[in-house]
Amino acid sequence: MRSWSLLVALTLLLVDQSCAFKAHDFKTCSQSGFCRRGRALSARAKEAKSSWVSPYSIDSSSIRVSSNQAVFTAAVKSSLYPDINFGLEVRIHEDGVARIRMDEIGGLRKRYDEAAGWALVAEPSLSHEIKWTSGKKDIRAVYGDGKDIEVVVSYEPLRVSLLRNGKEQVVLNGQGLLHMEHFRTKGTPTEEPAPVEVEGAESNGEAQVVIKADNPRAWFEGDVEDDLWEETFLSWTDSKPKGPESLSLDINFPNHGTVYGIPQHATKLALPSTAGSDPTFTDPYRLYNSDVFEYLASSPVSLYGSIPLMHAHSSESTVAVFDAVASETWIDVSHSSDMSTETHWISESGILDVFLLPGPTAEDVFSQYARLTGSQSMPVHWSLGYHQCRWNYVSSEDVRTVQKRFDEEDMPVDVFWLDIEYSEDHKYFMWNEKTFPDPVEMTNDVAALGRKMVVIVDPHLKRAQDYPAFKQASDLGILVKPKSGEGEYEGWCWPGSSSWTDFFNPAAWDWWKSMFKIEQSETWSWTKSTTDVHIWNDMNEPSVFNGPEITMPKDNIHYGGWEHRDIHNINGMLFSNLTYQAVAERTNPKTRPFVLTRAFFAGSQRFGAMWTGDNLGTWEHMEVNVKMVLANGLAGMSFAGSDVGGFFGNPEPEMLVRWYQVGIFAPFFRAHAHIDTKRREPFLLDQPYKGLVKDLLRLRYTLLPMWYTAFRETSATGMPILRPQFIMFPKDKAGFAIDDQYYIGSSGLLVKPVTAKDVTESKVYLAEDQVYYDYFTHHAYRGSAKGKEITVPSALHQVPVFIRGGSIVPTRERPRRSSPLMKRDPFTLRVALSKAGAARGELYLDDGESYDHLQGHFIWREFIAEKLAKKSKGLRLSSRDLGAAKPNEAVDGVALKSYNPANEFAKAIADVRVEKVVIVGLSAKPSSVKVEGGEELVWEYTPGVSSSEKKEGTASLLTIKDPRVRIANDWSIVIQ
């Protein structure tokens, strides 16, 4: 993560990280034994063409269907190894998701089968409407509201397909690349046949000739044992005591030509090819959580997190697959035609546990995935404000000074961050008393203005007997063990000699939570802290400076005897999960925590935010970070952002302004910088740059109601907050690959960040016959049903942001120093009329801190603008109670039976009003503007283009001043 120059004592042990990305520190597929074997298998299949047949088949006589019909099991055999037994289970969930599991039965060892247990939020409910029909060649089930979904499992060879309306959507093992390497005894891994004598040799008086028979499995597995038992990379040797156990599986989408997902990679949103003819990349996409220093801006190299979820899209439907595997995985992507996609998944260990998400819409897929792994947690409100960080604020007085400078410049900020140098010798929880002699008082000074602190806590524990955290963990026996299974694994990280807590061990859970207790107790805890301190979990891939690929050896041992190779990609999620719980449980009742994590897995969205790691202050990284944040949203991790300004480097003022323009339109908004960079807090900039950034910060705070409302939607539905074109316009092929503009939730805001130097104009794609208004100037642009590219001004002081016609955006316009100070501020409603002269929007509010919203203490309003009559020029703007109308859809995980509009939160903000309404695109100047049943209001009208016209230009503007309506109440404003 940071410059390694601080660790002078380790320089002989550590890889020099002072320069750019060190490709040689990380494996390519050709340097990974199981990946080589998987790709070689694929190459043999392609060479054999139609003669290639998968050796795996189902014994039809073994099929057993459960009493509820939702599950069937069967025995699977491989013709390569007739004595090895496999078991298949297929189950259909209530929402139509199909789960396919396959495992080795009665083998020498047990394969890791707990990945789904960590990723899933709960055991999925099974369908009650399924009936399996078993035939001579296959077993199948038809289901869905229109009986349009079908799952077909063919016996010989084993093949699983998901169809909709008779059209294949997803196919498993269609290319015959399924291979589950069974456990075996070292020395006889391939059971080579005995030598054979050549007949007739003796009778001819010749010496007897003995030759080896051909290996009957070579056609499938190859004729060379390739790193089955021991593998060396650079100076490290992986002992691989269990031998080969990899899993190969082809997953194809015969009718979907575009795929997305499988973060985290620095690449385009629509995944470029890695195989087939003329691939973009020559290596597969790798999923292996890694501490990659100064990563490339275009690469399939694995980064900090791994979510094995892939979406496949066409103009007809969207489907997805979720592969619940926690080990290192490589994924090849190719296209045999523009209309299809072939993928090959190669994992080092684990069972086959694949979920087929049938869609058919993107919204359906997100809902199906959220039911599996949970949705993005509802964040604490202040965490949507601006976060100011660097490595490092060097003292408590430095923090106070930074806060003072923000206030002097009237720049809003909610959070100040402390990196590793706050701690004594990098012993987390323990303050460096020379530089931070008064941490509680410092935090209280920050909190006095409604702000918070976020402090880093990394997973490595300094091996020192005077460090209570390490001593307690060691005494409890909850540290990760070396390959021997005895003692404690020792590696190197920021403190020097370190060990790592094994969070797979249940005994570690309550202990970790106890470390964050701020009250004095019998055991040592972080008493020099307050509830205004929240946590940053970094280095949790885990990063090990002297380990293979800068991480933990794969043959280390975790709780239950599992090797690190089995659980590597889950490791970081457990750390942030337990930290999230620990911070929540500091208070009684619990309050919402904020935890930022660098490493993540499927399900991490339930535990807070993530960021794109150690980016560079370059235009290329700015551009790709937008795509990466979009990709993370597709995989459930909506609370995402990148380091504004770039972690490395000293961006010029123009670039820094553009970074802030990117940052304010990301869900997570933090500026961060390396210790070797120049200080670049926004108040240090010269004019006009300082003023530009100040305006951007204020714009972020103005839009906080919109952001919080978007988070409610994603927490309840799983829909990503940032939505690329293919989600908004699924039938528009021209938008499938667009990843440089996006919509924010259902707000109607369309954003096109500028990520290049010296830009004065930008191209924006409008996919529909609708009017779009410039957010700032109200200039009306017209789209087209065939899709249309418009050119918009985007000089440095201009941000290409538009309101889609038909949208209502709630804002709070009064400048404040931090978001908690805005809690009772009035609202402005921006009404952008559609071509048809209508608009709709939502606003969700709760106390932003507690979990009271789960008991119905919130307000959820719908604003509707509609014509008074079909041909009328009059308009009615109304506020309606969505909480009462849809109590079972209001908040994640809770189906409220009823909703009380007079709940405690609603009472607390009963006097909060709408202070202004701005209506864009009216067809004519009104003659009257009244609250229904009330007197004439004060308003102003500026003539301009109407929403229904075909021409472009500045739109008409009606500004209603202080209509004196309450945000929590029903009301209507009538415009005649």
Catalytic residue numbers read 538, 541, 614
Task: Indicate the length of the chain as a whole number.
Answer: 976
Instruction: Please state, in angstroms and as integers, the Cα–Cα distance from residue 384 to each residue in 153, 262, 377, 594, 825, following that order.
Output: 47, 26, 13, 10, 17
Structural contact between residues 119 and 603, judged by C-beta atoms closer than 8 angstroms? yes
- Exposure string of 72-102, with b = 16+ CB inside 10 Å and e = fewer, is bebbbbbebbeebbbbbbbbbbeebbbbbbb
Q: Which residues contact 390 (CB under 8 A, 6 or more apart)?
A: 417, 419, 671, 672, 673, 674, 675, 677, 679, 681
Give CA–CA dist 112/7, Å, rounded: 37
Structural contact between residues 366 and 376, judged by C-beta atoms closer than 8 angstroms? no
* Residue 566 three-state SS: helix
The burial class, CB within 10 Å (0-12 / 13-18 / 19+), for 4 is middle
- Residues 469, 475, 478, 480, CA torsion sign: positive
**Among candidates 747, 753, 782, 752, which has minimal Cα distance to 768?**
782
**Among candidates 555, 553, 550, which has minimal Cα distance to 539?**
550
Structural contact between residues 734 and 766, judged by C-beta atoms closer than 8 angstroms? no
* Residue 144, amino acid: G
Give CA–CA dist 118/112, Å, rounded: 12
Helix axes 362-373, 704-717, angle to 10 degrees: 70
Q: Cα–Cα–Cα angle for 111, 114, 115, nearest 5°?
A: 105
Number of H helices, E strands in the chain: 16, 55
**Among candidates 412, 424, 423, which has minimal Cα distance to 388?**
412
DSSP-assigned letter for residue 838: -
* Residue 834, amino acid: S
User: What is the three-state SS of 184-208?
Assistant: CCCCCCCCCCCCEECCCCCCCCCCC
- Residues 523, 529, 535, 541, CA torsion sign: negative
Q: Cα–Cα–Cα angle for 555, 460, 577, nearest 5°?
A: 90
- Exposure string of 268-284, with b = 16+ CB inside 10 Å and e = fewer, is bbbbbbbbeeebebebb
- Residues 767, 773, 775, 779, CA torsion sign: positive
Give CA–CA dist 545/19, Å, rounded: 16
* Residue 487, amino acid: G
Instruction: Please state, in angstroms and as integers, the Cα–Cα distance from residue 870 to each residue in 836, 866, 873, 892, following that order.
Output: 10, 9, 9, 37
Backbone φ/ψ region at 45: left (φ over 0), alpha (ψ -120 to 50), beta: alpha
Q: How far is CA 42 from the centre of its chain?
A: 30
Give CA–CA dist 954/92, Å, rounded: 54
Helix, strand, coil percentages, rounded to 5, for the chain: 20, 30, 50
Tokens of 175: 């290319």
DSSP-assigned letter for residue 89: E
